[in-house]
Amino acid sequence: MSKLVSNPSKRVTSIPDYPLAVLGKKITGMKAKGIDVIRLDMGSPDLPPAPHIIEALVKSAQQKNTHGYGGYFGTPAMQKAIATYYKNRFGVTLEDNELLPLIGSKEGLANMHLAWLDPGDISIIPDPCYITHAMGPLLANGSTVSFPLDPQNNWYPDFSALSDDVLKKARLMWLNYPNNPSGAIADLAFFEDVIAFCRKHDILFCHDNAYADITYDGYKAVSPLQIDGAKEVVIEFNSMSKTYNLAGWRVGMAVGHAGAVKALATIKTQMDSGIAKPVQAMAIAALTGDQTWLVERNAVYQERRDLVVNTLRDIGINVESPKGAIYIWFKVPNGGDDVEFHEKALSEGHVSISPGSFYGEQGRGWMRVSLVLPVEQIKEAMARLKKLGL
């Protein structure tokens, strides 16, 4: 018998399995046994995009000449649409060399590390953070150093936690507001401080702005690129997954620092052949078409937000009502363990919510609820949690 070849790279064996992927397999197994699991763990929007966006996709897909490669840098119309969105939404002017379409922002977040880190270089990440911010450096044989986000200070980072030795080796710094998982928001004064810090230490500031257009209570999210001179320091990643309910279609963008955009494009052109033309047509319609439907969509999320917040408060859990993103972030009562809380909710109540430790050590003892199901299902999930006495 021949010997089985089974030696993956050290890179693979050093990276833990993606926790939501592992959880997804477990829930699939439970559902196969007939268990009705209500999933409030992943941030996958359940609502459809506006009709004009779908119509643009269908119309393009029906053309005979739209099934080849979509272009490494997107079509000229796609590039123009990204620039138009940033001009209309943030008042930011982008040149062609300052923008790059992505196959979803997640691949851009990961590939940015390959584009900017050499072995041994440091990427500074917040704790808690979106999982890809933490795993991307490992793919590039770099390393991470985290700084805590302070729940007593709007989940802002503590820069004093970073030593001079770390700052000398640091090449990237990641932040994300409106924030996943906490829902915290930031203003331009905060971003001015971050940019000044990164400029001082020659660090590329990577901002993940995936939730810029999901906000509540009159709050309107900002971009650090609105600050004069920001493009010398900042590359921003944006996603159409959340803004336009296009998560499965995988469309995003990287904009800002021309050198970083070029480096990212160098990596991407070796890895993919661009976004399908019909999907680009859909994205163009979303970015440049009527935006008023987002107000009604956000009202749906706000209703869900208020339902979850009010129910948790009724249970006796102290929880903030976020002004951005699609998550409710709360501390486990009585200093409880987040993994145990998750396991009990899943095994006994058949409700899946994310343990905060998925997102870093600072998330230990916290939970994240995603607002990605209709109100009636969320009501049922909340009723099950109340019944468990969590």
- The reported pLDDT for the residue numbered 377 is 96
Q: Look up the pTM and report it.
A: 0.93
- The reported pLDDT for the residue numbered 65 is 95
Are 281 and 298 part of one and the same domain? Answer: no
54: in domain: no
180: in domain: yes
- The reported pLDDT for the residue numbered 45 is 93
- The reported pLDDT for the residue numbered 11 is 81
Residue span of the structural domain in which 170 resides: 65-288
- The reported pLDDT for the residue numbered 168 is 94
Q: Report the half-sphere exposure of 74 (CA within 13 A, side-chain side).
A: 27
Are 146 and 224 part of one and the same domain? Answer: yes
CA distance 365 to 128: 12
Dihedral angle over CA of 184, 188, 189, 192, nearest 10: 110
CATH code, domain carrying 378:
3.90.1150.10
pLDDT tens across 326-335, in order?
Answer: 999 999 988 8
Element (H, E) at 147: strand 143-150
Q: Which of 288, 309, 325 is the last residue of a domain?
A: 288
Are 283 and 299 part of one and the same domain? Answer: no
Q: How many domains does the chain have?
A: 2
Are 42 and 80 part of one and the same domain? Answer: no
- The reported pLDDT for the residue numbered 283 is 98
Extract the residue ranges of the chain whose pLDDT is less than 70.
1-5, 390
- The reported pLDDT for the residue numbered 8 is 83
CATH code, domain carrying 110:
3.40.640.10
Q: Which of 268, 288, 308 is the last residue of a domain?
A: 288
Are 198 and 87 part of one and the same domain? Answer: yes
Are 202 and 329 part of one and the same domain? Answer: no
112: in domain: yes
- The reported pLDDT for the residue numbered 388 is 86
Given the DSSP bridges, would you call strands 354-355 and 170-175 parallel, antiparallel or unpaired?
Answer: unpaired
Quickly tell me which residue has 């704790």 as its tokens. 127
Are 304 and 321 part of one and the same domain? Answer: yes
Q: Which of 254, 288, 322 is the last residue of a domain?
A: 288
93: in domain: yes
- The reported pLDDT for the residue numbered 135 is 87
Are 320 and 223 part of one and the same domain? Answer: no
Are 44 and 70 part of one and the same domain? Answer: no
Are 81 and 155 part of one and the same domain? Answer: yes
56: in domain: no
